[in-house]
Amino acid sequence: MDEKLAARASAEASSGDARDALRLGGKVYGYDIDDDAIESARALFSARNVPEQRYEFRSRCHSTLLDVARESASVGAVCFNLGYLPGPCKVDRERRPKTAIETTLRAIESALAIVRVGGVVTVVTYVKHEGGADEHEAVAAFLSSLSPKTFDVTSRAVVNRSQAPVFFSAVRVARDATRKEMASTSE
């Protein structure tokens, strides 16, 4: 990660076990609706001797991401790893809370609003679980509708595996879009 991005604040909007959050810089804000995920994230950061003032994990929906903007002057990176916290067996995974299209799109819109010029919003979608393909399509449509004057959006996929995760990246290239403009592109 660019050192300028790492110097301020970042967020993991669907923390899971927080392995991605370990790579983020500045004050790390983590969100997940699964209490087990939040406890796992805190335990991982503690085990890695990350100072407590460098992270804050919240048992909340990722759609409340705008809270970060109120607490931090500049957000360099926001990452989403959609789906659910993996468990040791299929029965466990099926019972876990999963991300949902409506809250995911609100969360991504919030992330795009708070990330600074040069900052990045990444989204990994999974199509294999129930609802995953629909969520992937909604995310792809939303991100592809963003103004190229404001964001460079790319995707990366394994094309010879139909159910492989897809990685999206939206880098803010200008600060000229308002929330109103971004909302109008998603209609």
| Share in percent of the chain as helix, strand, coil (round to 5) | 40, 25, 35
Strand partners, 155: 168
Residues 47-56 have a mean pLDDT of 91
d(CA 38, CA 178): 32
- Extents of the domains making up the chain: 3-185
- Give the amino acid at 167: F
Least confident among 26-40, 62-76, 124-138, 161-175: 62-76
Per the CB < 8 A criterion, the answer to whether 57 and 32 are in contact is yes
Give the Cα-Cα-Cα angle 59, 113, 170 (nearest 5 degrees). 95
CB atoms within 10 A of CB 143: 21
d(CA 103, CA 178): 20
Least confident among 11-25, 68-82, 146-160: 68-82
Per the CB < 8 A criterion, the answer to whether 86 and 126 are in contact is no
- Between 87 and 99, the more confident residue is 99
d(CA 8, CA 154): 24
d(CA 14, CA 78): 10
The CATH number of the domain covering residues in 3-185: 3.40.50.150
Per the CB < 8 A criterion, the answer to whether 31 and 42 are in contact is no
Residue 187 is predicted with a pLDDT of: 44
Indicate whether this model's pTM tops 0.85.
Answer: no
Closest CA to 83 of 33, 40, 47, 39: 33
